[in-house]
Structure 1
Amino acid sequence: MGHSLRSSTLVPRGFVVYNTAIDDGVMLIAIRPASTASLCPICGTRSERIHSRYQRRLADLPLVGKPVRLVIDARRFHCDAVLCGRRIFTERFDGDVLAPSSRRTARLDHIVHHLGLALGGRPAATSAKRLMLPVSVRGRNTT
């Protein structure tokens, strides 16, 4: 009875893995959006014209006892709508996968949130550290 590891369980939906590495005991998974276009958050116009790219690094659930960081190639697009006040915008991802400006995935944030509710304060940080989850106590990162 063999178990297989599906990439869909490792990578948030809507993304494609293009590289993996292990750096100082941290598993790095480089991903990029599967879509070729994005919608302007102001006017909703669809754009395929890429302005630039940048990388986002997010903490994710640990894998085989190693912390995981997703390295996302995010893109900025041109908005070609004449009446739109925004000329360049950053693509948005599904809110239940990655929130704007977040430092961790929604699935990791969900676990950290419930740990905080159940245990609160330092006990939650200790439990999270045992589970190899990155959390912070009073604004200081414990990992």
Structure 2
Amino acid sequence: MCEMESILSSLDPQIQYLSHEFMADQVVFRAKARFVTAICPYCGLEANKVHSKYRRVFQDIPISTFETVIHLELPKFFCINIHCPYATFSVPLSFIEPKARKTKRLEKEILTLSLEMSSINSAKRLNQQNIKISKSTICRLIKKKKL
């Protein structure tokens, strides 16, 4: 396993590394999820029929001096339960909240720094570390986490 693969597998072992590319001050990973079956989060039944695929793009902790962006292809499944209110569902990921643009470990790093200084200074320091964030985003994150 190469070092780049281990970075992605540290998020979730079901993620398959496809490629990476260095562009200016960032490294962009391309990966896909290897879910063959999934449990419907609404009714609890296991499903194995893929409806479609969708792509999530999010930021992770920087590698050295490079901003880390991950393009992850994920399957959407058909729910086989005819009484389930949802016909399709996506698999929840343990390392990122639904619709989030930053991994939980990156959010934790942002919050740790932002509790030590103002949101303006935190944003400046984080941007120097190639973590793209604004002071407003830091304030929203603190409010969301109720710190």
Task: State the TM-score, normalized to the length of structure 1.
Answer: 0.84
1:87-126 matches, within 5 Å, as 87-94=87-94, 97-126=95-124
Query: Structure 2 CA distance, aligned partners of 1:58 and 1:17?
Result: 15
Where do 5+ consecutive residues of structure 1 fail to align?
none
Aligned-partner SS, 1:31: strand
> What is the aligned partner in structure 1 of residue 22 from structure 2?
22
Q: 1:43 Cα deviation (Å)?
A: 0.4
Identity over aligned pairs, percent: 18
Task: State the TM-score, normalized to the length of structure 2.
Answer: 0.82
Q: 1:83 Cα deviation (Å)?
A: 1.2
Query: Structure 1 CA distance, aligned partners of 2:25 and 2:90?
Result: 31
Aligned-partner SS, 1:103: coil
Deviations 1:4-62 (A, max 9, x none): 84733x11123120111123432111122233122111001111111111111100111
> What is the aligned partner in structure 2 of residue 59 from structure 1?
59
Q: 1:139 Cα deviation (Å)?
A: 4.5
> What is the aligned partner in structure 2 of residue 43 from structure 1?
43
Q: Residue 82 in 1 paired to residue 82 in 2? A: yes
Query: Structure 2 CA distance, aligned partners of 1:7 and 1:118?
Result: 33
CA root-mean-square deviation: 1.9
Q: 1:100 Cα deviation (Å)?
A: 0.8
